[in-house]
């Protein structure tokens, strides 16, 4: 139990004790006494009156000097009819000014909302209300008001103990903001996280991870459910690896495939996890992260394809680069294997070209003079 919870319980216990003492004081204010009493009754009554007087003095001492902020409120008007020194110090008013205040004067929310919060507390069976009060210097503080109704001289009052929870509220708000930033960071980076309880085989996950896996709140998050997320072709291998991780405490660092439960789409993921031991509770958990790297894998595959195409193209033209051995008489070209080829054959094999054959004028006159020399 935290120190704050203990303080809260102590305040509630003191509240009940003060309520009991106020009830005793109320009894001392009744005037319908029995006129004819025996000596024993007079002696008993005297003892009771002394006890009430002691209770009254004790109540005043506890109420006035207690370190907790306390005040008494008239429930019909919400007017403050008494306040202790801690209340005056907290709110920054003297007693005379404090007794001119109504609760709505301190509360920054409308009176209708104050009454609505009282109704909510009753419905939720809470013994406290949560408000924001403004101090004399204008500062706004978050408070919890522990209040119990009491009756005095036929009127209903609320005996209230105020607990300043501003620091706790600020911490809660800071935590909410941190959680929001974490969720948004995970969403942007497509990174989800999970916590796998090794003892129970149950796991919990973030919204982003559920989205990556294509699962909803109804998905069974146990060991079998986790393995069923793996691609069927990789499932057996990954199940064996996961077993070793859990049994031997090995770190998990692996790229793997899944098929999303919601639409059957194949995705590539990068997972990292470590086995953690909680020395306080003795719990052993596998804490991990999962990143959707599908787009990166597609880009890698496309890059590899382009590299292969480029290498193939370079291989096809590499023999045409540099010095090509050619016969100075017949003009045949020697290939890498030492064979001599016609120029057209060599080029056709090393480049994506075809030749069409014709005859230049010089060759026509040389080889067919009977036709072209007439």
Query: Domains in the chain and their CATH numbers?
Result: 3-164 (3.30.450.20), 188-297 (3.30.450.20), 323-374 (no CATH)
Please report the pLDDT score of residue 50 as a whole number: 44
* Alpha-carbon gap, residue 5 to 160, rounded angstroms: 18
Angstrom distances, CA of residue 266 to CA of 46, 51, 232, 235, 288: 89, 81, 11, 13, 21
> What is the full per-residue pLDDT of the chain (374 aa) written as tens digits?
555 555 556 655 655 555 555 554 444 444 333 333 344 443 444 444 444 434 456 666 777 888 889 998 888 888 999 999 999 999 999 999 999 999 889 988 887 887 787 788 778 877 788 889 999 999 999 999 888 877 777 788 888 899 999 999 888 888 888 878 777 776 776 788 899 988 888 999 888 889 999 999 899 999 889 889 999 998 989 888 888 888 888 899 999 999 999 999 999 999 999 988 877 767 688 889 999 999 888 888 888 888 888 887 776 665 455 567 777 777 777 777 777 877 667 666 666 667 677 777 777 777 777 766 66
Please report the pLDDT score of residue 147 as a whole number: 82
Please report the pLDDT score of residue 172 as a whole number: 87
* Alpha-carbon gap, residue 59 to 51, rounded angstroms: 12
Using a 10 angstrom Cβ sphere, with 0-12 exposed, 13-18 middle and 19 or more buried, the burial of residue 18 is buried
User: Hey, which residues does 276 pair with through a beta bridge?
Assistant: 285
Greatest alpha-carbon pair distance for the chain in Å reads: 171
Please report the pLDDT score of residue 176 as a whole number: 83
Please report the pLDDT score of residue 46 as a whole number: 43
Please report the pLDDT score of residue 322 as a whole number: 59
């Amino acid at each position: 139990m935290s120190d704050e919870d203990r303080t809260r319980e102590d305040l509630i216990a003191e509240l009940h004790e003060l309520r009991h003492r106020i009830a005793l004081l109320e009894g001392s204010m009744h005037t319908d006494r029995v006129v004819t009493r025996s000596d024993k009754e007079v002696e008993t009554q005297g003892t009771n009156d002394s006890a009430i007087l002691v209770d009254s003095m004790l109540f005043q001492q506890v109420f006035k000097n207690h370190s907790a902020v306390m005040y008494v409120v008239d429930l019909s008007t919400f007017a403050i009819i008494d306040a202790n020194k801690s209340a005056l110090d907290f709110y920054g008013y003297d007693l005379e000014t404090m007794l001119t205040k109504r609760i709505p004067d301190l509360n920054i929310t409308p009176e209708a909302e104050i009454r609505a919060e009282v109704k909510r507390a009753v419905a939720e069976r809470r013994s406290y209300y949560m408000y924001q009060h403004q101090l004399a210097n204008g500062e706004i503080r978050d408070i919890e008001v522990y209040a119990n109704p009491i009756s005095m001289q036929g009127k209903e009052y609320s005996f209230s103990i105020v607990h300043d929870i501003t620091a706790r509220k600020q911490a809660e708000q800071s935590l909410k903001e941190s959680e929001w930033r974490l969720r948004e960071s995970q969403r942007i980076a497509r990174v989800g996280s999970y916590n796998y309880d090794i003892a129970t085989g149950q796991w919990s996950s973030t919204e982003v991870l559920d989205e990556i896996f294509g699962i909803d709140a109804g998905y069974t998050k146990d060991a079998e459910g986790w393995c069923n997320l793996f691609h069927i072709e990789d499932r057996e291998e990954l199940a064996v690896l996961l077993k070793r991780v859990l049994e031997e405490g090995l770190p998990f660092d692996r790229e793997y495939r899944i098929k999303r439960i919601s639409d059957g789409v194949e995705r590539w993921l990068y997972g990292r996890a470590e086995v953690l031991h909680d020395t306080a509770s003795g719990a052993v958990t596998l804490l991990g992260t999962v990143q959707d790297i599908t787009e990166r894998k597609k880009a890698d595959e496309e890059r590899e394809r382009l590299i292969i195409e480029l290498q193939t193209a370079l291989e096809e033209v590499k023999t045409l680069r540099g010095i090509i051995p050619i016969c100075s008489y017949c003009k045949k070209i020697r290939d890498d294997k030492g064979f001599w080829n016609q120029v057209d054959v060599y080029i056709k094999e090393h480049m994506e070209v075809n030749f069409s054959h014709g005859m230049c004028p010089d060759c026509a006159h040389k080889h067919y003079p009977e036709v072209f020399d007439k």
